[in-house]
Chains A and B, each alone.
Chain A
Amino acid sequence: MNLTYSAEEQAFRQDVRDFLATSLPDDIRERVRLGRRLSADDHVRWQNILSERGWLAANWPEAHGGPGWGPVQRHIFDEECAAAHAPTVVPFGVNMVAPVIMKFGSEAQQRHYLPRILANRDWWCQGYSEPGAGSDLASLKTRAVRDGDHYVVTGQKTWTTLGQHANMMFCLVRTDPDARKQAGISFLLIDMASPGITIRPIITLDGAHEVNEVFLDEVRVPVANRIGEEGQGWTCAKFLLTHERTGIAGLGHAKQALRHLKSLATRVPHRGRPLLELASFRQRVVKAELELMALEVTNLRVIAAAQDGSVPGAESSLLKVRGSELRQELSELTRRALGPAALPFFPDFLHGDGELDDPTLAESAAGAAQYFNRRKLSIYGGANEIQKSIVAKTILGM
């Protein structure tokens, strides 16, 4: 065993660093650094730059236009991106629907959708959850009724992340109401411009417009937009969820958050000394440091075990639970380190183009909002309670 990076890996890290230093636009870097929300255009601008460099689809095989990286390179890439304040790639196209299309889609579907994803021509959103179907996703009710070479889809999706920017949605629908729960579900790709679709914002507790409700009223979707067989949707969904969970440990982000926290706690005073010297605070930072060290290795172990191309199994649930807890703890400590400065709230600055003339206020503006926003990490992508049940069942056999 050897946990050091090879010379090639170190050279790769330098390449990534150089690329980020020269190619990441300053305005985007600054918005990410300050924790301000990016516009759709900001995301696309950055993803086009990545795409041009051939680095947008980090997880894709070379045959489809991926860079052909192994797990260690992907890990290095994520880490450097977070450290440089690069935006997170919007995952719904590149990291979620694309692997499903590669695995279950027809050749025609692959030829049509994959290049468009690589070129950022489609913005995808995920239509899984419904008001009545969250953790119990298989109880979803959105109906798709066959009518010639179309499905007619009626129902409601909710919590649809960034759906306001999306032109395409991958969606779980019930095609057979009589089959056993999971067996009657199919996986459809729906054009968001179709007649019968209405989208409504849900404002989250940090004042952001990040999620939406999507109403579908007799929306006609070509049968050709179904991925896999009718009734095979649950297999696609499960496959995708495991992919969703791998990135979810969010190690690069955790590392960056810890760096930021240490620097902040060195600067803010507590009774004339840096806050970081205060025992009760320091202890928690130390614990977070250890947790992160362990998680980094666990993460690499899990992806290394899946190097043969298979996706990580229930182990990804472990990464999700611990990774989300750690990131939440770091956001909590950051909010606390800010102290009174965490209180002022400037939603126009954080979520829009409003400017703040006072740089001190700008630096601390996102602290509390991010803490609240990070509560989602233990809820979405399968809530942590559900992840623990998966581990209990599949790993521990309980």
Chain B
Amino acid sequence: MDFSLTDEQRMLADTLDRLIADRVAPEQRRAMLEAPADEPLALWQTFAELGLLHMPFAEEVGGLGGEGTDLMLIMQALGRGLVPAPYLAGLVLPGDLLARLGDAGQQARWLTPLLEGEHQLALAWQENDARYDAHGITTAARQDGDGWRLDGNKQLVLNAASAAALLVTARLDDGRLGLFVVPADAPGLSRRDYRTIDDQSASDLTLDAVSLSDASCLGLDVAQALDATLALGRAALCAEAVGAMEVACEQTLDYLKERQQFGTSLSAFQSLQHRMVDMHLHLEQARSMAILAATSLTLPDAERDYRLAAAKAYCGEAARFVAEQAIQLHGGMGMSEECYVSHYAKHLVMFDHYLGDVDHHLDHVSDHLVDAA
């Protein structure tokens, strides 16, 4: 066992922390959120220069061969800064599927420019009727001459408005799950764009007789690859939540020390000290789960998914506890948009709604509780 980071990893984390402190302060973040979706994000260019866009991909596909731990460090830093850049949704998730499933031509067309920062992508896997179940979807793909025709709806597609193309999961006639690259301007594809309550850019998609060439098909039996990619996404989200929890805890602690009531600082009250300790405990336990998640990605599928479900469920509850207490201990301030901690709190609560929530993942753990022992 080894919990230490390599020198390179420590450097990566430091560089990112500095960059984010410098470039994603609250006012800068607000401006980034207000910029139109088609305006290139200056920060993305910097990410490209730092090699961050290559980091999480294998060398065979032109990446730097980073491991789960590297991704964890990046996501944790992004979480600390509440950075509104679609690193996971626009790069890691679609890129990982392209790396797993794409042929040379598809990778040259979609993956290489993604790593070079020339375009972003999005992954459309979620349908409200299937809730968090990536396999229970009804969007249909039918063979149509030499190509394919897609019909259906997708919800909560993060980064769709900035994506050059969308990777869309669809059910085939034989019941298997296919994956298709749908260019953003494909006829028959329409989007309803919105922001989530925690400021992510998202869209609902309608696919109405979207006609695709055979070269757009990334695979006709992608369930296993999709699970692997979503597992990676869950590990990344846990790390991001840990970063955000760290800051929420730090800001709350600072506030308790600074805020004076009854002639003393709030940090003098024992009930608040204990609460702060509970927040810290939740953070440290969540951190352990995020590490477990990041280092479980290469395990056999079933073992990986068991641990990832456990980590995501655990972090979901911990993130909510930290968020709620951060608001509560800030008093009225915690309720105001102007107080930065409220933005962390929102993201930490809504974290649970991405890639499966506590109930979804507890159910998975519960199903496999006995075989895991």
Contacts and interface: CB of A to CB of B under 8 A. Distances in A.
Tell me, yes or no, whether A binds B: yes
A203 B331 CA distance: 15
Interface string A128-147: 01001011100100000000
B26 to A, nearest CB: 14
B279 to A, nearest CB: 14
Nearest to B360: A270
Interface string B347-373: 001101100011110110010000000
Given A271-B363, A372-B197, A343 B335 contact: no
Given A270-B131, A343-B197, A372-B346, A336 B359 contact: yes
Nearest to A371: B349
Interface in B194-221: 194-198, 200, 202, 204
A339 B132 contact: yes
Contacts of B272: 385
Contacts of A339: 128, 131-132, 353, 357
A344 B260 CA distance: 38
Interface in A358-394: 358, 360, 368-369, 371-372, 375-376, 378-380, 383-385, 388
Nearest to A136: B261
A280 B350 contact: no
B335 A336 contact: no
A159 B363 CA distance: 42
Contacts of B357: 336, 339
Interface in B84-130: 126, 128-130
A268 B131 contact: yes
Given A269-B131, A375-B328, A207 B359 contact: no
B156 to A, nearest CB: 5
Nearest to B130: A269
Interface in A116-167: 129, 132, 134-136, 139, 158-159
Contact of B126 (A134, A340, A379): A340
A58 B260 CA distance: 39
Interface stretch (B74-82, B162-170, B336-344): B336-344
Given A135-B262, A336-B357, A379-B332, 16 more contacts: A134-B331, A211-B332, A271-B363, A336-B359, A339-B132, A340-B132, A341-B155, A343-B198, A343-B353, A345-B196, A368-B349, A368-B350, A372-B197, A372-B349, A379-B331, A385-B272
Interface of A: 129, 132, 134-136, 139, 158-159, 202-207, 211, 268-272, 275, 278-281, 332, 335-336, 339-346, 358, 360, 368-369, 371-372, 375-376, 378-380, 383-385, 388
28 contacts: A132-B260, A134-B261, A135-B261, A136-B262, A158-B332, A202-B338, A205-B334, A211-B332, A211-B336, A270-B131, A270-B360, A270-B363, A272-B136, A278-B363, A280-B362, A280-B363, A336-B359, A339-B353, A340-B156, A341-B155, A343-B197, A344-B194, A344-B195, A368-B349, A372-B346, A375-B324, A378-B328, A383-B331
